[in-house]
Structure 1
């Protein structure tokens, strides 16, 4: 039992004429300030590198991180309801801002649930710094100590997915490890990284000064002059030059250089699905994005010199690997692993903006117009797009085209849209005018379901002053319904269009095309009442029709905060390789 000593009255000062009664002038004891920990070092390091927003979800081993986050008033935390969705939100934040998006998660299940999102970030070159906790240092590499969430080698799960893996074992390693992971994520080619720190290192007090600044050596990939000179010669001499612009153009911010080079060469430009917005959609030289079309594939194949910028010519960009160039290919690619990975080319390992600027300096200005206008490249582009329209006209797809047009008309020009793996998104890849670069994002890199809505939340966090559209099918929407709570909690201006066709629509089409029938138990789904469900989260929702879609979407996008628009409709895909007579 403890007792409190009684103060001695004689020891207390007695106010006199010169000391009027009043507040004590004795300084108050300092407020209790907890010791700084390894978690504080992490948060200080992120702030020193320029982070102002982090995404994530707490867990037992990561509580040292989240406790430190509470003491960092300059760092905004956005918490989602599952780690995978937090990863998708960080992915879209990184894409829309061209910055690093920190993602804080816990050990074991929490860490592993980020893998689908990190695979998409890797495919889309999104700079996500995934920072997870680990079991205490004593359990690292063992898998036999019985710690909750323990894995024999947690980092091994990430090595085939991310750009680099970093493991910390002592507090003194934290600032340098965070800087190294950040540097890896933001160096060209951008991509996700994984950094893990043991629980006891995050919780242990540290006796070092706060982290104020961290030096970075971000790697830029500059082109070699001799290959630029040769590429400029080939392009300058080409009679039928064509350009295929990929996502690397958008990530590098090279749209102005692309436009200038295309106009100097009078070269038609097609954009990949990841490169949408890299070139003006209605420009006389724009082939748009009809890559799942045999007419477009033939046009690209017929180029005597094809310049591929910021694309590895993967499955979707090569019309499912049916593309067979008959002329020479010049390829600019920042990711060395993708350079000439699918087709032989004069390879230029470089950032798209640096390489295009170097080509502009070498290609002589005032290239002769050549053939009369009626037979020039602009006429060839117009003829190709007419053939594409004719092909679609013969497939009875007016409803699908009208729905996509209604979405485009309702969406403000400066708005961002995020698309899940659904039939309307497949249409958007080819037929949707993004109106500006870096405004349309989808999961077409890795192709996982559930991307659209959490990605839209991340894009809204990046710029809450403008509306964001998310588009999902009912199957993909089921992956993300919990994030309606996130949208409401942060009052994010995201309108979620759910196209409800009663199942996994694209898989239904694939199975029917391949096997003549579907496995109904696999493709057909029982769904909730999406309107009522959204209302239970306090999110306004409306059920619409194709005729009312444009007006309902426009109203939802104009209203503050989140909203849901449900369109019951069974859409069809266009036949990508069908040739009309």
Structure 2
């Protein structure tokens, strides 16, 4: 096989049937073999979009998402998506050519020449693997998948020198070995079970690492009678209409109070990160039992009384085997439900106060979205103040949000990737006008795919959060307010439908029609922002 053929054959052997990417001079030997191996190619309009689409695909399918880009500027365009995947623990594989094996050490001006692109990606990915021969390529692919699918999921960069892609050698390609899912050690599980069994006021804090353990999370919560709050990436692990569900929003005052009131807090698959907590760490001293697949993560941000290192689902199953049944029968169950309802009411009040400006949008989406819908959000005020804590979701991986890295431009291409990976699911993109412009070209990708994808652009004329921060600091307000394009017309120009709204009351109907459409629909909701009106007169 040539190096390109060996690469694509190895990807297919690892279950890859879809890649997102853009062809270039140096990666054509890869592209030559995609269709021959039955691998579908999706063509985003920018490499950053390819990476975010692979991310959305991975978060909603549970399988690694793959982006194929060319060398130099294309790979560096995709770097932001790699950083986001690292931050949110998403298995994304970015494949690129690299400089030839015998390229001069100080360079010679080769097209797309970058002095050490592997080092750049190694700084933000779990690994940057360089296959130095055709025979090594299948091994490198297997290593990449082993890194991505064992322990904590992380992104990987795989580089094949452009001359190796065209060379020929004897190659053996095998499918990947299965990765075992291990529970935490039995004696440590027993210690945790004993601690939890005597809890009178337990609380569960659930993160994205529990997405594969939704059934076990529900069973443990019901066994303990424990209210459950989630991080952004854990949103939907417990359906938010469950009697014990508080929903997402660990940063809210009511959640902090609930944790302070608890005698035991069980944290599952969360790093308890500042990007989730916003206003400082939770009060957990002496009361924390923690489950995490990452032996470093389980020690980070909070010291646990009992730390269990293991797969969330397997460890919770082992824990359930040692937890007694619900004590005292129906009265205890009713008491737990009342306790959860009290905290849920307080948390809802906090969420509605924080997100008051966005509640009409959220109410319309709540009306329009089917129970199995997936919402791909951006780092936009309507998402982190509005939808995160106020929009109910009902299954894991149903709210895609760029939490830790906080990138802009994620929502639209992530929605495309989610819809590609889940063609039968209703998927919606929820983005702001500022972030939309980072990856607006992906409207053309959505149009080409003829997918019924509502793309809701909530327009507050610029970077509203940063504008508010400038005002709060009593700084000069500048560079944050600007005119938006006619997003509906822009959508129509590239082959989408386009609708402009001035009233959120009309949003539910527009979204319903978009789900039934023959292609993507851009829904431009012009939002009246008092800060915008205040500052627009001061803009040059």
TM-score by length of 1: 0.87
The Cα offsets for residues 432-452 of structure 1, whole Å up to 9 and x where unpaired, read as: 111222111111131000000
Equivalents in 1 of 2:179, 2:482: separation in Å?
Answer: 47
Name the structure where helix makes up a greater proportion of residues: 2
Equivalents in 1 of 2:452, 2:126: separation in Å?
Answer: 32
In structure 2, do the counterparts of structure 1 residues 487 and 166 end up closer, same or farther at CA, with 3 Å as the change threshold?
same
Q: Is the 8 A contact 1:245 1:272 kept in 2?
A: yes
Equivalents in 2 of 1:531, 1:454: separation in Å?
Answer: 17
The Cα offsets for residues 100-141 of structure 1, whole Å up to 9 and x where unpaired, read as: 22211111111111111011111222111111101111127x
Would you say 1:50 and 2:15 are equivalent positions?
yes
After alignment, is 382-391 or 345-354 more displaced? Answer: 382-391
Identify the residue that residue 496 of structure 2 maps to in structure 1: 539
Q: Is the 8 A contact 2:452 2:514 kept in 1?
A: no
The Cα offsets for residues 168-219 of structure 1, whole Å up to 9 and x where unpaired, read as: 1111111111111112111121111111001111012x2426x553342525
Q: State the SS of the aligned residue for 2:117.
A: coil
Would you say 1:403 and 2:358 are equivalent positions?
no
Q: State the SS of the aligned residue for 1:65.
A: helix
Identify the residue that residue 413 of structure 1 maps to in structure 2: 371
Q: Is the 8 A contact 1:92 1:456 kept in 2?
A: yes
Q: State the SS of the aligned residue for 1:216.
A: coil
Identify the residue that residue 165 of structure 1 maps to in structure 2: 128
Would you say 1:149 and 2:108 are equivalent positions?
no
After alignment, is 144-153 or 235-244 more displaced? Answer: 144-153
Q: Is the 8 A contact 1:474 1:502 kept in 2?
A: yes
Equivalents in 1 of 2:278, 2:465: separation in Å?
Answer: 17
After alignment, is 416-425 or 484-493 more displaced? Answer: 484-493
Equivalents in 1 of 2:350, 2:396: separation in Å?
Answer: 28
Q: State the SS of the aligned residue for 2:112.
A: coil
Q: Is the 8 A contact 1:125 1:191 kept in 2?
A: yes
Q: Is the 8 A contact 2:352 2:390 kept in 1?
A: no
Whichever of the two has the greater Rg, that structure is 1
Q: State the SS of the aligned residue for 1:254.
A: helix
Equivalents in 2 of 1:286, 1:524: separation in Å?
Answer: 38
In structure 2, do the counterparts of structure 1 residues 108 and 392 end up closer, same or farther at CA, with 3 Å as the change threshold?
closer
Residue 369 of structure 1: CA displacement?
A: 5.5
Superposition pairs of residues 27-426 of structure 1, within 5 angstroms:
36-72=1-37, 74-139=38-103, 142-204=105-167, 206-208=168-170, 213-216=174-177, 218=179, 220-250=181-211, 253-345=212-304, 346-368=306-328, 376-391=335-350, 400-426=358-384
Candidates 499, 508, 512, aligned match of 2:458: 499
Residue 390 of structure 1: CA displacement?
A: 4.3
Equivalents in 2 of 1:240, 1:246: separation in Å?
Answer: 20
The Cα offsets for residues 370-410 of structure 1, whole Å up to 9 and x where unpaired, read as: 98778x33222222233344456767x65521220101211
The Cα offsets for residues 301-340 of structure 1, whole Å up to 9 and x where unpaired, read as: 2211100000011114334324222541011011222112
Q: Is the 8 A contact 2:270 2:292 kept in 1?
A: yes
Equivalents in 2 of 1:218, 1:148: separation in Å?
Answer: 40
The Cα offsets for residues 77-114 of structure 1, whole Å up to 9 and x where unpaired, read as: 11111111100000011111111222111111111111
Displaced runs of 4 or more, over 4 A: 369-374, 389-395
In structure 2, do the counterparts of structure 1 residues 263 and 136 end up closer, same or farther at CA, with 3 Å as the change threshold?
same
In structure 2, do the counterparts of structure 1 residues 207 and 386 end up closer, same or farther at CA, with 3 Å as the change threshold?
closer
Superposition pairs of residues 475-554 of structure 1, within 5 angstroms:
475-513=434-472, 515-517=473-475, 519-520=477-478, 522-544=479-501, 545-554=503-512
Residue 467 of structure 1: CA displacement?
A: 2.9
Equivalents in 2 of 1:68, 1:60: separation in Å?
Answer: 15
Equivalents in 2 of 1:173, 1:317: separation in Å?
Answer: 40
Q: Is the 8 A contact 1:175 1:214 kept in 2?
A: no
Equivalents in 2 of 1:200, 1:71: separation in Å?
Answer: 21
The Cα offsets for residues 540-573 of structure 1, whole Å up to 9 and x where unpaired, read as: 1000121211111111122122111000004599
Q: State the SS of the aligned residue for 1:307.
A: strand
Identify the residue that residue 22 of structure 1 maps to in structure 2: none
Residue 475 of structure 1: CA displacement?
A: 0.5
Q: Structure 2, unaligned stretches of length 5 or more?
A: 532-540
What do you get for the CA RMSD once the two structures are aligned? 2.1
Candidates 399, 420, 425, aligned match of 1:461: 420
Residue 530 of structure 1: CA displacement?
A: 1.0
Identify the residue that residue 396 of structure 2 maps to in structure 1: 437
Q: State the SS of the aligned residue for 1:260.
A: helix
Equivalents in 2 of 1:37, 1:123: separation in Å?
Answer: 35
Identify the residue that residue 430 of structure 2 maps to in structure 1: 471
Equivalents in 1 of 2:414, 2:426: separation in Å?
Answer: 13
In structure 2, do the counterparts of structure 1 residues 196 and 391 end up closer, same or farther at CA, with 3 Å as the change threshold?
closer
Q: State the SS of the aligned residue for 2:461.
A: coil
In structure 2, do the counterparts of structure 1 residues 571 and 352 end up closer, same or farther at CA, with 3 Å as the change threshold?
farther
Residue 527 of structure 1: CA displacement?
A: 2.1
The Cα offsets for residues 27-51 of structure 1, whole Å up to 9 and x where unpaired, read as: xxxxxxxxx4210110111111111
Q: State the SS of the aligned residue for 1:417.
A: strand
Q: Is the 8 A contact 1:303 1:326 kept in 2?
A: no
Q: State the SS of the aligned residue for 1:195.
A: strand
TM-score by length of 2: 0.93
